Amino acid sequence: MKYFSATFLNHRIPLLCTLALTSFLVACASAPLPPTDSLNAARDAIARAEQADARQYAGAELEEARAKLVMAEKAVAEEAMTEADRMAQQARVAAKLAVARTEAAKAAEINREMGRGADALDVEMDRQGEQK
Amino acid sequence: MNTISLLKKPFGGKTGATIVLSTFLLTACAMAPETPPAALEVREKLTELQRNPEMARNARIELRDAEAAVELAEQPLDNDETALSDHRVYMADRMVEIARATGTTRQMEVERERMGEQRDAARLAARTREADAARADADSARSSEVAAAAMSAKEAEEMQRQIDELEAEATERGLVLTLGDVLFATGSAELQGGSNRNLEKLVDFLNKYPEKGVLIEGHTDNIGSAQFNQNLSLQRAESVRRYLIDHGVQSRRLNVSGLGLERPVASNESATGRQQNRRVEVIIEN
């Protein structure tokens, strides 16, 4: 083995260098691209959640989305792009959940309000009915 | 192992060994990547939502997306790909929750619509009730007018009947009822005992029309002095007044006067005329 390696190295140094350089270049070009689309999508989703008052109605979900986005950005800084992409996707889906739960909470609030209004109306109408 | 030993014979030792080895390899390959247990939990949640008909109707798209995510999470992965597995499970789980929240929201919107319809129905019912009440009021007002008119017509008719019953005479001063001298013993102001139809009818009439005032006038013929006759006429009128009070007529309605021989209605020359002049007139004001 040792003998083989030595002879190989001795005779093919230029070729090896070329190979190494090529693979290095390829690695540089492909691996460290940040998942821009995922990150943007995550930021948009979080912004939408904030606009929808998620802070008030689904604070935990919104916080989770923000935390995931922070992790994604950290992963980008560490050039762990696969991790960054996953964290960005998770941040997006967490923000969407925040929006969905906010809407549900608002809907429930409106219904409660309407229920109270209807009760008041019933009382009012009963009162009128009694007067008649 | 039985299979292998059976196979071993026709193919010989070397081939048999190869088959054993490849069987092991295949088994190993099949065993290693398996569905992550966390994905099974997410699947369970999703199935529960899918079985809820309202959820299935209200969050169709979200459930379909969640289904795809869960299917991806369920795909077997090698042991060294736990990060990817965790990621897929996370995504699937959140998408199932999004479907749940969306379905809940729509459900509430449906409910709200129903509440709105109920409220509209209630409002409509209230308005209908009000309208009905108003109509009923109008109806009853109209019917009471009609009733009042009918009543007054009936009352007038009834009063006329009563007047006819009294055999009273309608004059300018009012209804004049003449009580003949048969009521009194000669020279006496006391009413004859026993029942007197005319007086009973008078009491009935006065009690029926309690707002009418009454003037009671006593009259005599010309036998005896004027003073005597005046006293007698007054006393007789008083007797009638007392009779009426005793039978429930309020005293303040009753005025009494004794006119003696001053107003004869017939000639005092004849007995019949004198009898007609001895009388008590009860004037019921209009």
* pLDDT tens per residue across span B16-47: 666 666 655 555 555 557 788 899 999 999 99
- At residue B192, the pLDDT reads 73
Predicted confidence (pLDDT) at residue B101 exceeds the cutoff of 60: yes
Are residues B190 and B285 in contact, defined by beta-carbon separation less than 8 angstroms? no
Indicate the SS3 state at residue A37: helix
Q: Which of A112-121, B94-103, B171-180, B181-190 has the lowest mean pLDDT?
A: B181-190
Q: Which of A20-34, B146-160, B247-261 has the lowest mean pLDDT?
A: A20-34
Q: Distance, in angstroms, between B85 CA and closest chain A CA?
A: 11
- Over residues B264-270, mean pLDDT: 86
Contact between chains at B112 and A111 (C-beta distance less than 8 A):
yes
Closest chain B residue to the Cα of A111, Cα to Cα: B112
* B contacts of A132 (beta carbons < 8 Å): 129-130, 133
* A contacts of B112 (beta carbons < 8 Å): 107, 110-111, 114
Predicted confidence (pLDDT) at residue A16 exceeds the cutoff of 80: no
Confidence of residue A20 (pLDDT cuts 50, 70, 90): low
Topology given in CATH for the domain delimited by B167-284: 60s Ribosomal Protein L30; Chain: A; (3.30.1330)
Contact between chains at A104 and B108 (C-beta distance less than 8 A):
yes
User: Judged by CB atoms within 8 Å, which residues 206-245 of B form the interface with A?
Assistant: none
Confidence of residue A87 (pLDDT cuts 50, 70, 90): very high
Q: Distance, in angstroms, between B126 CA and closest chain A CA?
A: 6
Q: Distance, in angstroms, between B180 CA and closest chain A CA?
A: 58
Q: Distance, in angstroms, between A33 CA and closest chain B CA?
A: 19
Q: How far are the Cα atoms of A42, B74, B281 from residue A46, in angstroms, in the given order?
A: 6, 28, 109
DSSP state, A34? -
Radius of gyration of chain A (CA): 30
Predicted confidence (pLDDT) at residue B95 exceeds the cutoff of 90: yes
Predicted confidence (pLDDT) at residue A2 exceeds the cutoff of 60: no
Out of A97, A104, A115, closest to residue B115 by CB: A115
Closest chain B residue to the Cα of A115, Cα to Cα: B115
Question: A101 touching B, CB under 8 A?
Answer: yes
* Residue count of chain A: 132
Reported ipTM: 0.72
Who wins on pLDDT, A43 or B265? A43
Confidence of residue B6 (pLDDT cuts 50, 70, 90): very low
- Over residues B68-74, mean pLDDT: 96
Are residues A87 and A75 in contact, defined by beta-carbon separation less than 8 angstroms? yes
* B contacts of A118 (beta carbons < 8 Å): 115, 118-119, 122
Who wins on pLDDT, B50 or A114? B50
Confidence of residue A15 (pLDDT cuts 50, 70, 90): low
Please spell the DSSP secondary structure of A52-110, one letter per residue: TTHHHH-HHHHHHHHHHHHHHHHHHHTT-HHHHHHHHHHHHHHHHHHHHHHHHHHHHHH
- At residue A104, the pLDDT reads 96
- Over residues B40-61, mean pLDDT: 95
**Mean pLDDT for chain B overall:** 82
Confidence of residue B285 (pLDDT cuts 50, 70, 90): confident
Who wins on pLDDT, B282 or B69? B69
Name the token pair of A45.
Answer: 């989703």
* pLDDT tens per residue across span A34-82: 999 999 999 999 999 999 999 999 999 999 999 999 999 999 999 999 9
Predicted confidence (pLDDT) at residue B220 exceeds the cutoff of 70: yes
Q: What share of chain B in percent tops pLDDT 70? A: 86
- At residue B129, the pLDDT reads 84
With helix as H, strand as E and coil as C, how does chain B read?
CHHHHHHHHHHHHHHHHHHHHHHHHHHHHHHCCECCHHHHHHHHHHHHHHHCHHHHHHCHHHHHHHHHHHHHHHCCECHHHHHHHHHHHHHHHHHHHHHHHHHHHHHHHHHHHHHHHHHHHHHHHHHHHHHHHHHHHHHHHHHHHHHHHHHHHHHHHHHHHHHHHHCCEEECCEEEEEEEHHHECCCCCCECCCCCHHHHHHHHHHHHCCCCCEEEEEECCCCCCHHHHHHHHHHHHHHHHHHHHHCCCCHHHEEEEECCCCCCCCCCCCHHHHHHHCEEEEEECC
Contact between chains at B108 and A86 (C-beta distance less than 8 A):
no
* pLDDT tens per residue across span B103-152: 999 999 998 888 888 878 888 888 888 888 888 888 888 888 887 887 77
Closest chain A residue to the Cα of B113, Cα to Cα: A111
Would you list the domain boundaries of chain B? 32-111, 167-284
Q: Distance, in angstroms, between A28 CA and closest chain B CA?
A: 23
Interchain CB contacts (distance < 8 Å): A and B: 76
Side chain identity at B61, as an amino acid letter? I
Question: B127 touching A, CB under 8 A?
Answer: no
Contact between chains at B91 and A96 (C-beta distance less than 8 A):
no
Task: State how far the Cα of B234 lies from the Cα of B248, in Å rounded to an integer.
Answer: 21
Sheet holding B169-171, edge to edge: B169-171, B174-180, B279-284, B214-219, B254-258
Question: A129 touching B, CB under 8 A?
Answer: yes
- At residue A36, the pLDDT reads 94
Q: Which of B10-19, B78-87, B132-141 has the lowest mean pLDDT?
A: B10-19
Closest chain A residue to the Cα of B95, Cα to Cα: A93
Name the token pair of B125.
Answer: 């019912």
Predicted confidence (pLDDT) at residue B5 exceeds the cutoff of 80: no
